[in-house]
Amino acid sequence: MLYFVSTPIGNIKDMTYRAVEVLNSVDYIGCEDTRHSIPLLNHYQIKKPLFSYQKFNEAKAGEKIIEMLKEGKSIAIISDAGTPVISDPGSVLVKMLIENGLEFTVVPGANAVLPALILSGLDSARFTFIGFLPEKKSDRQALLNKLVMLDTSLIFYVAPHDLEKTSNYLSEVFGPRRAVAVKEITKMFETRCEFILGEQPNVDTRGEFVLVVEGQTQTEDYSSLPLKEHIALYINEGLSKMDAIKKVAKERGVQKSVIYKQVIDEE
């Protein structure tokens, strides 16, 4: 059996009884960074052979893990903090385990997403987790274009020193929406900073943040646009041509067949 085990995101006391029990029971523990994990494991007197499992060696380490499991060994995978696989190494391994018909499970526990959402005070009924934005500008733009019309709270991970830059990226697409940046979650200096996208957050921007952004609060009326521009608007946001036509028909209060015929006639 392989276990994906959640570990504390800040407060070391957030380790669950089951996580300690599982880590004590396995033959090996795969760590995102063994140097980072040793203090946690030592605190709970967990003494097991460790090996590196990080995004730079996921495929190679995954092959070794598959062999070990087939030999009857039990393994736990932990990341530096929180739940593995979620914006951390592990997704490649999950696919390999499924392909090989090997058993795996999750030992749930701490994660940064839900505490940040609650601390934000923004709508928690529905939310969309995004994680880190793509580095490449075209990829980032394409992703944000797909998100701009969502009416759910949007949750982003922000790397150290990137808060202002990320706020500006989002402002260019989303406009001046409410946002809340949270860091040091569960720690003594847990920080919550509310601001408007595009403005400079009044917070020390060093360290990793979880950024929660308000969803679209009102639907703009695009029905006055020329038909082609109205359809192109949604195609640019990532919809297929047929889905864009359906959406335009709904907004204009006509049958989609009418819109489709107009499009054909104008081509």
Tens digits of per-residue pLDDT, 28-73? 999 999 999 999 999 999 999 999 999 889 999 999 999 999 999 9
Same domain, 200 and 168: yes
Domain end point (choices 76, 107, 138): 107
Give the number of domains in the chain: 3
**Is 66 a member of any domain?**
yes
pLDDT tens over the chain, length 267 residues: 999 999 999 999 999 999 999 999 999 999 999 999 999 999 999 999 999 999 889 999 999 999 999 999 999 999 999 999 998 999 999 999 999 999 999 999 999 999 999 999 999 999 999 999 999 999 999 999 889 889 999 999 999 999 999 999 999 888 889 999 999 999 999 999 999 998 889 999 888 999 999 998 765 667 777 888 888 888 887 788 888 888 888 777 778 787 877 777 676
**Cβ density class 231-267: b for 16+ within 10 Å, e for less:** bebbeebebeeeebbbbbbebbeeeeeebbebbeeee
Q: Burial-class residue 176 by CB neighbours within 10 Å (0-12, 13-18, 19+).
A: exposed
**Is 222 a member of any domain?**
no
Q: State which residues form the domain around 72.
A: 2-107
Nearest alpha-carbon partner for 77 in 87, 67, 88 = 88
**Is 187 a member of any domain?**
yes
Domain end point (choices 66, 88, 107): 107
Domain end point (choices 67, 86, 107): 107
Q: What is the pTM of this model?
A: 0.79
Same domain, 175 and 206: yes
- Which residues lie below 8 Å from residue 105, measured CB to CB, with a gap of 6+? 1, 2, 3, 4
